[in-house]
């Protein structure tokens, strides 16, 4: 079973994440940040991950700590669920359209973290959500999952569509990367023999 349960507690947040990489896309998301709930529900559905996320954070300050810490905990869950990464495809990519927005996502579960974030979101807010937090979420994710992720806007002018397209594209790229390739099910996908 490629699953993980993460509990992360700080003075600012309490986050619980349960992840099944080989799920059906079921999601139970309650972060206290409505827009993030929407994005994570889409992420689970498009990645076909079963995902439960609960967060109690200091949203009376702002949403920053909750969004970042959920990204951290989700990254930790992916790292734990992947184990030694034996048999995974390792790489995944997707170009995805969301109305006028066109988003490229490419990921490598190399064990090294990097975020190439070139979304150029044209507004500071979507509803009450600070759009700068999208980058903070993905930074927390890649640093803890141990992956390189590139997100690039190829077209788009609606902030909601750009962000939603990025979460969907990332989910589909990540799904491809973490899938087991039966031809190489007993192998670590690296000439070094370790990831």
Pairing assessment for the beta strands 50-57 and 13-20 based on DSSP bridges: antiparallel
In a domain, 159, yes or no: yes
Burial label for 183, CB within 10 Å (0-12, 13-18, 19+), is exposed
pLDDT in tens, 119-172: 999 999 999 999 999 999 999 999 999 999 999 999 999 999 999 999 999 999
- Domain membership of residue 155 as a residue range: 3-184
> Which pLDDT band, with edges at 50, 70 and 90, does 192 fall under?
confident
In a domain, 90, yes or no: yes
In a domain, 193, yes or no: no
* Separate counts of helices (H) and strands (E) for the chain: 4, 10
Helix axes 159-178, 133-145, angle to 10 degrees: 10
Question: Is the separation of the CB atoms in 139 and 133 below 8 Å?
Answer: no
Question: Is the separation of the CB atoms in 174 and 92 below 8 Å?
Answer: yes
159: CATH: 3.30.230.40
Predicted confidence (pLDDT) at residue 117 exceeds the cutoff of 90: yes
- pLDDT value for 195: 86
How many whole angstroms separate alpha carbon 166 and alpha carbon 55? 22
pLDDT in tens, 49-95: 999 999 999 999 999 999 999 999 999 999 999 999 999 999 999 99
Please give the tally of structural domains in the chain.
1
In a domain, 65, yes or no: yes
Question: Is the separation of the CB atoms in 92 and 107 below 8 Å?
Answer: yes
């Amino acid at each position: 079973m490629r699953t993980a349960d993460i509990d992360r507690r700080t003075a600012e947040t309490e986050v619980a994440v349960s992840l099944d990489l080989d799920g059906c896309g079921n999601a139970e998301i309650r972060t206290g940040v409505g827009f993030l709930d929407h994005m994570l529900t889409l992420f689970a559905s498009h990645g076909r991950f079963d995902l439960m996320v609960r967060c109690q954070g200091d949203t009376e300050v702002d949403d920053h700590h909750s969004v970042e810490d959920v990204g951290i905990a989700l990254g930790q869950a992916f790292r734990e669920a992947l184990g030694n990464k034996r048999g995974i495809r390792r790489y995944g990519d997707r170009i995805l359209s969301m109305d006028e927005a066109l988003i490229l996502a490419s990921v490598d579960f190399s064990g090294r973290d990097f975020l190439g974030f070139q979304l150029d979101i044209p507004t500071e807010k979507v509803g009450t959500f600070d759009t700068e937090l999208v980058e903070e979420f993905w930074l927390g994710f890649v640093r803890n999952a141990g992956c390189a992720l590139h997100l690039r806007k190829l077209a788009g002018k609606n902030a909601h569509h750009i962000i939603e397209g990025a979460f969907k594209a990332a989910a589909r790229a990540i799904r491809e990367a973490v899938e087991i390739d039966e031809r190489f099910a007993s192998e670590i996908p690296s000439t070094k023999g370790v990831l």
